[in-house]
Amino acid sequence: MFEVNACRFEVQGRCLLEASGLCFEEGKVYGLIGHNGSGKSTLLKLLARQQCASCGEICLNGRAVDSWGNREFARNVAYLPQHLPSAESLTVRELVAFGRYPWHGLFGRLSKKDKAQVQQAMERTQTDGFADRMVDTLSGGERQRVWLAMLLAQGSRFLLLDEPLSALDIAHQVDTLSLIRTLCRELGVGVIIVLHDVNMVSRYCDQLVALRGGQLLAQGSPGELMDDATLEAIYGIRMSVMSHPTDHHPIAVVQ
């Protein structure tokens, strides 16, 4: 599990995030929610070792994250940033295959098992149909799905996803979140995901972590956090919460 203890992140004397007492376990989907600039991406980067905390400690399985070797850490944690890197001159299959790097090195040959996991990751994300196309010829939504496939091929115990739905249409948003929840249920993978659609968060996440102004505001299940007063405190606007007409999870509408 991930544990965040008295963690603080500052830039030029300005505190961008302060959080403590957070715990993220395998087998659950955690949604990070809050307005822009609330600290969601900062928290994800700290968990992914993309940034170092100014003070406090973040531990993975009881060990400080900065004590892990790079490949050892990557076998346990996969991170998808908000702004995707360039992948020029690579086919979709080649990019997804890079997900196997933590297991055999950058220039190691792929085993039959590696190739099977690459193929399975593409099938799960519906990217196998353009496996031999160049990544830079794809649409933004297609590229986002290919990068998610690479993370799945990595076989890590935690997936850290920063706004992975931003370039996807509504159908692929639902497909992606359904896939993520299935991975949690079937493989015991832990997912920590930044989302802006509070109703998607309510439907697909087991736990919510709400941030505002760089401070941890609330944490709990959708049923615990999805109420009028809490959502107004998180987002600064008035919302009404009601029960979904078919599966009865809470949904919110702006007043």
Is the predicted pLDDT of residue 108 greater than 70, yes or no?
Answer: no
**pLDDT per residue over 143-190, tens digit each?**
888 999 999 999 999 999 999 888 788 888 888 888 889 888 988 999
Domains of the chain from N-terminus onward: 2-254 (3.40.50.300)
Q: How confident is the model at residue 107 (pLDDT cuts 50, 70, 90)?
A: low
Tell me what the pLDDT averaged over the chain comes to: 90
Mean pLDDT of 95-108: 81
40-90 confidence digits (pLDDT tens): 999 999 999 999 888 999 999 999 999 999 999 999 999 999 888 888 789
Predicted confidence at residue 94, as pLDDT, reads: 94
Q: Name residues whose C-beta falls within 8 Å of residue 76's C-beta, 6 or more positions apart in sequence.
A: 60, 61, 68, 156, 157, 158
Residue 166, both tokens: 């931003």
DSSP H stretches of helix in the chain: 40-47, 70-76, 92-97, 101-104, 112-124, 140-154, 170-187, 198-204, 222-225, 228-235
Q: Is residue 106 pLDDT above 70, yes or no?
A: no
